[in-house]
Amino acid sequence: MRQLLIFLLLVVSANAEPFFVDHRAVLRLAGARHEEIEFARLQHVVAVQESKQAWQRFWPTLSIGANYRGHEGRLQDIDGYVRDASKLNYGVGGALALDWAPGDIYYGALAAKQRAIAADHLVEKVRLDTIRIATERYYALLKAEASLAVMAEDIAISERYYQQLDNAVKVGTAFRADLLRVATQLARLRLLVRLGEEELQVCAARLAEILRLAPETELRAAKVDLTPVRLMKDEQLTDLVARAQANRAEIKAVDAAAVGLAREEDRLRVGPLFPTLQGGYAAGGFGGGRTGRTGNFGDQQDFFVGLGWKVGPGGMFDTTRNKIAETRRESVALQKSRTKASVGREVVEAVARSQSAHAQIQITDDAVAAAEEMTKLAGERQASQVGVVLEYVMARDELRQSRLARVRSVVDFNCAQQELQIAVGDAPTLEK
């Protein structure tokens, strides 16, 4: 479905035709082709492979090969005499080697596992950030298109009123000054419409950018839906903040990083207490002798085992490395505190915007109702020759401003609800 939607968008953009998208399509497309999300996914893949590689250090290494070695000239023998020698040897076989520092390997693998978990959480963070930006830009497009529709309707009514007034002036039942007043108002409306068209194009370009569509794609909202959509239940602010700090991906990533640094500290502090085990076993054939003699080939086996502790830099009593590990862990703790504070602020801001927009909807509903009645009365007075043109023009202006304010409040409320949902760490739901 996602690939089909992308294909249709590319075809439409190539034909330079408007393409209508709704919130559901924006949510799907926001993570479909965005390179930031893909980059985060690749970072997670690398972290997972590094974690697997860290555990694989427990396994010995196996090597298979052959060698040939020759010598001509002076050589010191085992008794210390120096003399001329000409010799060669050759061999073939395999070797099994083990260099096993269990403390270093174990805690290092645990730290790598936590880094992979943190990278996984960061993928979700980038995805939600992309969806949040795409949602904001979609609602900006919706607001611009709905506002433009309000102004277009108002300008159509004003043009009809202008024609009626012009006819009245021609027959001498209206003043030309009133006609010019309406003409001035009509010019202002046309200017507002042109600015609204500019805003619509800018919003479409910004949405196309975050969806990674062609810049020339002419996006439009599939429907100018001005119905408030409540995505979040009414909850106490403290409960919302607590949910956010428990659910947000960036906090989970910091927690995983903190655990990883704790394991890294164990690797540096406890790891050197475990002895390092080294061993090897080689088997194969070996032969040779003086130059020209290639015989004497036979079986050969070598093996060794060693156990030891490293003291000093990189081993036991390396206070510098331990101090570095402690400092890094403290830095992550500070980062977590800063992240939780930032998350709490985002939740509070989203709640404040949502509550304010919801209250504005009721206020603007009352304002629209009052402006509609005022416009109706002004029109009736104008038709009965009791009122004046200025009164009707001002009433139309009040109605337009009230309707635009309602558009902004409804769109801002829906956008704030989506932002609040993301702020508390919930996956965005699709509008029904």
In a domain, 242, yes or no: yes
Q: Is 99 helix (H, G, I), strand (E, B) or coil?
A: strand
| Confidence category of residue 388, pLDDT binned at 50, 70, 90 | low
User: Which range, 217-221, 264-268, 310-314, 400-404, is most confident?
Assistant: 400-404
pLDDT at 410: 93
Q: Kindly report the CATH number assigned to the domain that includes residue 127.
A: 1.20.1600.10
The answer to whether the CB of 134 falls within 8 A of the CB of 207 is yes
In a domain, 72, yes or no: no
- Per-residue pLDDT tens over the stretch 188-199: 889 999 999 999
| Confidence category of residue 264, pLDDT binned at 50, 70, 90 | confident
Q: Say how many C-beta atoms besides its own lie within 10 A of residue 369's C-beta.
A: 11
The answer to whether the CB of 268 falls within 8 A of the CB of 82 is no
pLDDT at 8: 46
In a domain, 84, yes or no: no
The CA distance from 117 to 188, in Å, is 58
Domain range enclosing 23: 2-65+101-282+317-423
In a domain, 208, yes or no: yes
Q: Is 407 helix (H, G, I), strand (E, B) or coil?
A: helix
Look at residues 405, 406, 407, 412 and name the one whose alpha carbon lies nearest to residue 355.
412
What tokens appear for 374 in the block? 């005022």
pLDDT at 383: 67
Q: Is the pLDDT of residue 381 over 80?
A: no
Average pLDDT, the chain: 83
CA 139 to chain centre: 19
Q: Is the pLDDT of residue 331 over 70?
A: yes
Question: Strands 82-100 and 61-76: what pairing?
Answer: antiparallel
Listed as own residue / partner, the contacts of 348-355 with beta carbons closer than 8 Å and 24 or more positions apart are 348/237, 348/241, 350/416, 350/419, 350/420, 350/423, 351/237, 351/240, 351/420, 353/412, 353/416, 353/419, 354/232, 354/413, 354/416, 354/417, 354/419, 354/420
Tally of structural domains, the chain: 1
- In sequence order, the β-bridge partners of residue 53 are none
21 or 380, which is more confident:
21
pLDDT at 360: 92
In a domain, 45, yes or no: yes
pLDDT at 16: 53
| Confidence category of residue 51, pLDDT binned at 50, 70, 90 | confident
The CA distance from 348 to 381, in Å, is 49
In a domain, 291, yes or no: no
pLDDT at 294: 67
Q: Which whole number is the average pLDDT over 208-219?
A: 85
Question: Strands 298-308 and 276-290: what pairing?
Answer: antiparallel
Q: Is the pLDDT of residue 413 over 90?
A: yes
In a domain, 298, yes or no: no
In a domain, 196, yes or no: yes
Would you state the torsion angle of the CA atoms of residues 24, 25, 30, 34, taken in this order, to the nearest 10 degrees? 160
Q: Is the pLDDT of residue 317 over 80?
A: no
Q: Is the pLDDT of residue 123 over 50?
A: yes
The CA distance from 19 to 181, in Å, is 39
Q: Is the pLDDT of residue 226 over 70?
A: yes
